[in-house]
Homo-oligomer: A and B are copies of this chain.
Amino acid sequence: MFQIDAMSRTPMYEQIKEQLEKFILNGTIAPGEQIPSVRSLSLQLSINPNTILKAYSELDTQGIIYSVPGKGYFVCENALDIVSAAKYDKLDELSAVLADMALAGIPKEEILQRVNKAYTKHDR
């Protein structure tokens, strides 16, 4: 399920967060469902438990998952809304990137093609 690249420039705990958020968005994990325990995911990925815990703790703080001591971690009911809202917050970053690309002379058509491609993958 999870796949971590230890050589990546983005920290492992960030990769875990991103992947879990993606699983929530695409329905791989539903609200209320339990996610892999700190120790089991630690073993599965050959990663230190503290690294998993760091990812889970931050997701907990964001209100995306919650912990039940002795039982495990579960996806919050409103997790989808929170993750979506976080993506909205990145729109300004997107605008900055687009401005850069426009300045670099990348054709608008090239961008529009990519937008269309991204938005046709779910219309079915």
Give the interface of A toward B (CB within 8 A): 22, 25-26, 83-84, 87-88, 90-91, 94-95, 97-106, 108, 110-112, 114-115, 117-119, 121-122
Contacts and interface: CB of A to CB of B under 8 A. Distances in A.
Contacts of A114: 91, 94-95, 98
Copies in the complex: 2
A117 B71 CA distance: 49
Contacts of A98: 114-115, 117-119
A115 B112 contact: yes
A31 B101 CA distance: 20
B121 A104 contact: no
B91 A94 contact: no
B88 A102 contact: no
A68 to B, nearest CB: 27
